Structure 1
Amino acid sequence: MSFEPSFPPMLDGRAVPEPPFDAAIRAAATGAEAGLVLYDPSAADLAVSLVLVPEVPIEDSAVMLPLAGVALQNALGALGPAELPVHLGWDGTVYVNGGRCGRVRAAVPETSPGAAPDWLVLGAELRFRPVGDGGEAPEETALHAEGCGDLTPMDLTESWARHALLWIHGWEEDGVAPLHREWSGLARGMGEPIEVAGRTGTFLGLDERLGLLLKTEAGATEALPLTELLEVR
């Protein structure tokens, strides 16, 4: 008997027999309402997407990308083994016990600076089963190799959506500061050399919009906005 995730009233969960991120983009582009959650119940790994309709400029609504990562860490913290180390890369990569395990991503339509996008789709993906014997790519990992053998993609689908909704409500009520603190505490590579968005330097921290502050090799500090990470569809 398959497990069907349960979602709060403000979310509309629907199963799709295809990659949920692409399906969510098509749904959003044709007028889907905010709160649509799409997932593939037959997938061996986590693949879930959430449609949003932002009311703030793209520069502000881009914080939904790190929000999706925080929600995923919170979901794993609630369901996975105690003390399971989960960290977040600014580019959306999700690390479990030091190995790459998945990612969060976000897509928007072409949007002018200062304007709110017509829609924004969040996606969360996590690998459950190791590829091969796990030795081919030692920098990669999977949840079932990290003590999460009892966890299923549908468990995490439900939990991620609930935590994302909680963080969105918190952002609407309290602004970006709580999200800034939470994400900073989960950041991977803070204070270390990093290569991201075609640039290299030292990861100093985040600005007020959760953009990355990068100290270049020349000693200058450069701010990389989150909008650089959005996939334009």
Structure 2
Amino acid sequence: MTEQAQNGPAPVFPPLFRGLADPDPFATGCAQARAGVDAGLVLFDLQIDRLSAAIVFAPEVPLADAAVMLPLCGVGFQNAFGAHAPPEVAVHLEWGGALRINGAVAGRLRMASDVSAPHAVPGWLVIGLELAMMGASAAPGTTPDHTNLFDEGCADVDPVLLLEAWVRHTLVWINRWADGDLRGLHAEWSGLVHGIGDPVAGQDGVFLGVDDQFGMLLKQEAGTVGVPLTALLEETQ
């Protein structure tokens, strides 16, 4: 990994997006959104060992629909990563936001908003991205369910270019979603989802898939139950 992550040029984003370097993108993004910042702010912290970023959105639809930004940003990440990583490196998405590289967790997406009621229209919604670029001191293989880009043969992936591509590809999917192409997003995400047919950690049931609003469908002894995407919202101060 080069020093460009710390000392190189600032990322360049599409029109209507603007960047701001910050050591804690997600927390600062929520604070900025709470203070009334316009949508389109991209906060980022690019280090040798990690990439952290957050995007501030201003949805004009109920939270139950706006929460689709979490899987949408996941699809945007996979598309961006596929354009910069070796073709043999696979990316899969967990419903809960985890990002898997070659089967192991290398990062996550997270979500916060100023409302929690599914039918309320948010004043803001923030999606955060965290990605391990290099590992800690543990030897490769000692934590088989966790990895990083360096250990997966992606040492040449430039974090600046990856961040730029994430925002661009996410914008493409936002436009498709805004034009009513929820089916296309479902199809793309369904080809990337991890864990269908497996028991869900922390839940009593087996992951069957998602409903039309990307809520998780759990098969339990008493039948199938749904867990809405809004259950993934984090509380912020």
Q: Within 5 A, what are the aligned runs for 1:1-233?
A: 2-16=8-22, 18-42=23-47, 44-132=49-137, 133-195=139-201, 198-216=202-220, 218-233=221-236
Q: Distance in 2 between matches of 1:96 and 1:40?
A: 21
- 2: distance between equivalents of 1:37 and 1:54? 16
SS at match of 1:227: helix
Residue 200 of structure 2 aligns to a residue whose secondary structure is: strand
Kindly indicate whether the alpha-carbon contact (under 8 Å) linking 2:112 and 2:235 is maintained by their aligned counterparts in 1.
Answer: yes
Whether the aligned pair in 2 keeps the contact of 1:46 and 1:156 (CA below 8 Å) is: no
Please give the TM-score of this superposition, normalised by the length of structure 2.
0.92
Counterpart Cα distance in 2 of 1:120 and 1:23:
13
CA drift of 1:26 comes to 0.8
Q: Distance in 2 between matches of 1:140 and 1:22?
A: 24
Matches of 1:86 and 1:112, distance apart in 2? 32
Is contact 2:116–2:233 with CA below 8 Å preserved after alignment?
A: no
| Structure 2 CA distance for aligned equivalents of residues 92 and 122 of structure 1 | 10
Cα distance in 2 for partners of 1:108, 1:26 equals 11
Please state how far the C-alpha of 1:194 moved relative to its aligned partner. 1.9
Counterpart CA distance in 1 for 2:33 and 2:210 is 30
* Alignment partners' CA distance in 2, 1:53 and 1:43: 31
Structure 1: tracts of 5 or more residues without a match? none
Tell me the distance in 2 between the aligned counterparts of 1:33 and 1:12. 10
CA contact (8 A) 1:44 1:153 kept: no
Q: What CA distance in whole angstroms lies between the structure 2 residues aligned with 1:69 and 1:232?
A: 21
Query: By how many angstroms is 1:14 displaced?
Result: 1.6
Question: Offset of 1:41 from its aligned partner?
Answer: 3.6
How well do the aligned residues superpose, as a CA RMSD in angstroms? 1.4
Show CA shifts across 1:83-124 (max 9, x none).
311101100001100111000111111343411111000111
* Cα deviation 1:150-205 (Å, max 9, x = unaligned): 1122121111111111111110002421111111110101122222xx41211111
Q: Percent identity?
A: 45
Q: Which amino acid aligns with 2:76?
A: A
- Superposition TM-score, scaled by structure 1 size: 0.94
Following TM superposition, the consecutive aligned residue runs of length 4 or more in structure 1 with deviations greater than 4 angstroms are none
Count of aligned positions: 229
SS of aligned partner of 1:193: coil
